[in-house]
Amino acid sequence: MSDDHDDSPIAARVRELEAVLEEKGLLDATELDRALEAFAHKASPANGFRVVARAWVDDGFKARLLANANEALPEVGLSMGGGLQVQQLHVVENTEEVHNVIVCTLCSCYPLSLLGPSPTWYKSPAYRSKVVSEPREVLRQFGLELPAATEIRVWDANAESRYMVLPRRPANTEKLTEEELAGRVTRNGLIGTAAV
């Protein structure tokens, strides 16, 4: 059985389901742990960095990513699979006029395979409630001061849908390679709590 200490109602239901499946011989706890470890080993913000860098250098990929991220991800060797349920990934683009930030107000839904383990603050009740009601103030606390005219959109993830921010490409990076661009991206930039 997975060693999950999450006290949320969903986590409790998952633990109960695992126990029932083990009792009926339909689930091998060792195999499940092995699969979860393999998935966690591959889950890294470097995956999201690669996706962003490709979108910055390839307008066609960017268009496909924004239209249907699940269909575009295999182009860079990634997917939203790996669990019992495939989540729909929505990539939202920051522009001069709009800044996006993601949250999960119910628990901590997060595109783990693309952003790696979620930061502690992402799961905190303070972030989850305040970013919805006072996003500009939350971003300010992260050191991100946006112009008053910039619209801030907050995207609320759930069990079926995950979000990732496509940050604005930094100025004066036209001569950088895709790999060098990936090195400029940060996890907080993918969440929307930082500029890149």
What is the b/e burial string over 60-84, where b = at least 16 CB atoms within 10 angstroms of the residue's CB?
ebbebbeeebbebbeebebebebee
Domains and CATH numbers, the chain: 9-41 (no CATH), 44-191 (3.90.330.10)
**Mean predicted confidence (pLDDT) in 3-27:** 67
Would the pLDDT of 3 be above 70? Answer: no
The whole-model pTM stands at 0.80
Of 104, 113, 129, 161, the active-site residue reads 104
The answer to whether residue 107 is catalytic is yes
**Mean predicted confidence (pLDDT) in 34-44:** 62
Res 2: pLDDT = 35
The answer to whether residue 108 is catalytic is yes
pLDDT tier for residue 75 given thresholds of 50, 70 and 90: very high
Cα 85 to the chain's mean position, in Å? 16
17 compared with 105, residue with greater pLDDT: 105
Of 44, 107, 118, 161, the active-site residue reads 107
